[in-house]
Amino acid sequence: MTTHDTSATALNALGVLDGIVRHTTVHGIPTLFAPRPGEITAGLVFRVGHADETLPTSGITHLVEHLALYRLGLSDLHYNGATASTYTLFHVTGDEDAVVTYLNSVCEALRDLPMDRLETEKDLLRTEAGSRGKGALSQMPLWRYGAQGYGLSSYEEHGTRTLTPDQVRHWAETRFTRDNAVLFLTADRVPDGLDLTLPAGRRFPAPAASSALPDTPAYLRGEDGHLVFTSVLRRSTAAAVFAEVLGRALFQDLRQKGGYSYSAEADYSPRDTDFATLTAYADALPQKQDAAVGGFVDVFARLRAGRIEQAELDSARGKLLKRYDVPDLGAALLPSYALSLLTGHRILTPEQHRAELEAVGVADLREVAREAWDGGLLQVPTRGADWAGLTAAPQFSPSGVSGTLHPSLEDDDVTLIIGEAGVTLSTPGGLVTVRYDACAAMTTRPDGARCLTGLDGFQVTVEPTLFGDVTAERIAVLDKAVPAAAVVPLPARPAQEIPQPRERTAPAPRTPADGSQQAEGRGSAGRVSGHFVFVTALATLWPVLLVTLLVNGIQEPSIRLPVIAGCVLEFWLLHAARNLYRTGQPTTPQ
């Protein structure tokens, strides 16, 4: 049965759209509709996505989406589902009967998920993930947000291995509810026969953003051939226009003028209620990468200085205005209106948006350019971008933990520390630490391997075969300390996949290998530091003073106590020099 409750408070914000889009409620779900000739397109959108999950449960929303669509099987319908950072969409195109069948089937499945398919769908999601591969932008969320919230899109969906039927069922019952949904249809009326009955719930706000960047603008080293820039901007009409101006400027300078890049573009994408993500990308051949980076920085410097031609602004504004030069405008705007209603973002009529576009001036774009640069993260394929005023993104933790030392069996300059508060990997470049109370996830293997990922995105892998004295008792310390909700058991590995020590080689700088971890390096701790030289000098000179004292006062009985104290001090100096060489600190890291 279809109900029409025009008094629903969730639709109050749509009053401004009267005459463009009609609205009602269907079984408690706010519903927007506007006519368009031909087949009907419908979308049922829920305010839940990847960013609402945790690393151990990542993939749970995607899993619910797959299970909800299973019963449709090999239908002739043109339908699909999509899981994004902040929403999940079920959409279909067909005649009225087909659309009703699809929407009813989705809601029926959400009320009673086919749990007999759970393990099969987990396998399918892992297969899907394996076929997607990693793109040039895959690491950017991790470096900006860490291993939580909006950063989870950089990670493997761990939940596809460990989620239980109860967890999946609870997620569907609490997140896929009528109060957390919006429906839109390209029709002049709501079709009869809809049964969209879903449990009551509440509208979940978009998750708050975390940050793994202490300073911006920042840069990181990425893959050769790719230059990527992202920033977070307040959602505004001026910011959308700026993205168009930036994209055109990059294309003109990097491709048409410089010939450094084939692809050079920019994009503006809403992230949540109040903020959007600005993304800029350019490719380059290895021999032109430095020039491409320089050209990119120059483009931004020009825009930040307000050196923007009126023609550039007019062209960008004209492109955005063209979205309104389409037939059946109300139907074309339905998806964006539905998402705005779902996230609580302001809703503008076409006339209001046109007025805001016309009001954007060069001064507005200059301010957006400065905001974008100040909060920017630049991934460069070259050595760095310090020369452009950017700070290197953190590659190492600010401190370590105290505990037992486990030397690497491959590199004398690497030590694993397992402590009561967390784990630290001491490298020639610095310390990488994951504290148990800030552990996003710990994967476990039956052979004893443990991989701990911190909420900040840093990762320490404990392989008993690669470090000395990592006994079952030391692994038990990890298992006891990490919260159970953060543990992700993985299956046993074939014997040939368990790593064995390689021949010792000279240490090399470590950089991010993929989107699943940050580089193991950042801090000031190094093999040869000023502190190390000073302490080593004292340890070298002190025995000379001891010998002189002993020779000159050997007949004096009172000399024995100072000599003993001097020997103790010499022992401490040697111990401190060793730790400074290996961990960057005079004692075991605290």
| Predicted local confidence at residue 128, as pLDDT | 85
Confidence of residue 524 (pLDDT cuts 50, 70, 90): very low
| Predicted local confidence at residue 525, as pLDDT | 35
Burial of 20 (0-12, 13-18, 19+ CB in 10 A): middle
- Tell me: pLDDT of 1 over 50: no
Sign of CA dihedral 509, 512, 513, 517: positive
H helix runs in 427-503, sequence order: 472-481
What are the structure tokens assigned to 63, written together? 């899993």
- Tell me: pLDDT of 504 over 90: no
| Predicted local confidence at residue 181, as pLDDT | 97
Q: Cα 360 vs. chain centroid, distance in angstroms?
A: 32
* pLDDT tens-digit map of 266-291: 999 999 999 999 999 999 999 999 99
Place of tokens 């004096």: 556
Answering whether pTM is above 0.95, one says no
Mapped onto helix, strand or coil, the DSSP state of residue 15 is helix
What are the structure tokens assigned to 428, written together? 């020639």
Confidence of residue 155 (pLDDT cuts 50, 70, 90): very high
Place of tokens 């009326």: 189
Within a 10 A sphere around the Cβ of 3, how many other Cβ atoms?
13
Confidence of residue 94 (pLDDT cuts 50, 70, 90): very high
* pLDDT tens-digit map of 33-44: 999 999 999 999
Query: Which range (269-278, 452-461, 508-517, 571-580) has the least confidence?
Result: 508-517
| Predicted local confidence at residue 521, as pLDDT | 36
- Tell me: pLDDT of 412 over 50: yes
| Predicted local confidence at residue 461, as pLDDT | 97
Among left, alpha and beta (phi > 0; psi -120 to 50; other), residue 425 is beta
| CA–CA dist 87, 84 (Å, integer) | 5
Please list the helix, strand and coil fractions of the chain in percent, rounded to the nearest 5, in that order.
45, 20, 40
Query: Which range (286-300, 387-401, 555-569) has the least confidence?
Result: 555-569
Q: Among residues of the chain, what percentage have pLDDT more than 70?
A: 82
- Tell me: pLDDT of 3 over 60: no
Question: Which of 288, 151, 156 lies closest to 226 in space, CA to CA?
Answer: 288
Tell me the average pLDDT across 139-168: 96
Confidence of residue 578 (pLDDT cuts 50, 70, 90): low
Within a 10 A sphere around the Cβ of 518, how many other Cβ atoms?
29
H helix runs in 1-115, sequence order: 60-69, 96-111
More confident: 517 or 222? 222
More confident: 535 or 362? 362
Burial of 192 (0-12, 13-18, 19+ CB in 10 A): exposed
Query: Which range (45-54, 69-78, 437-446, 465-474) has the least confidence?
Result: 69-78
| CA–CA dist 235, 340 (Å, integer) | 12
Mean pLDDT of the chain: 87
* C-beta separation of 289 from 267 below 8 A: no
| Predicted local confidence at residue 16, as pLDDT | 78
Within a 10 A sphere around the Cβ of 164, how many other Cβ atoms?
11
Q: Helices 310-321 and 237-250: crossing angle, nearest 10°? A: 120
Give a three-class secondary structure readout of 294-351.
HHHHHHHHHHHCCCCCHHHHHHHHHHHHHHHCCCCHHHHHHHHHHHHHHHCCCCCCHH
Question: Which of 450, 449, 447 lies closest to 422 in space, CA to CA?
Answer: 450
| Predicted local confidence at residue 263, as pLDDT | 95
Tell me the average pLDDT across 421-439: 97
Confidence of residue 568 (pLDDT cuts 50, 70, 90): low
Within a 10 A sphere around the Cβ of 235, how many other Cβ atoms?
16
| CA–CA dist 100, 94 (Å, integer) | 9
| Predicted local confidence at residue 361, as pLDDT | 97
- Beta-carbon contacts of residue 5 (< 8 Å; ≥ 6 apart): 24, 25, 28
Confidence of residue 546 (pLDDT cuts 50, 70, 90): low
What are the structure tokens assigned to 297, written together? 């920085």
* pLDDT tens-digit map of 285-337: 999 999 999 999 999 999 999 999 999 999 999 999 999 999 899 999 999 99
| CA–CA dist 109, 47 (Å, integer) | 18
- Beta-carbon contacts of residue 506 (< 8 Å; ≥ 6 apart): none
| Predicted local confidence at residue 166, as pLDDT | 97
Place of tokens 């109860």: 166
More confident: 5 or 107? 107
| Predicted local confidence at residue 201, as pLDDT | 95
What are the structure tokens assigned to 132, written together? 């997607």
- The angle formed by the CA atoms of residues 510, 391 and 455, to the nearest 5 degrees, is 60
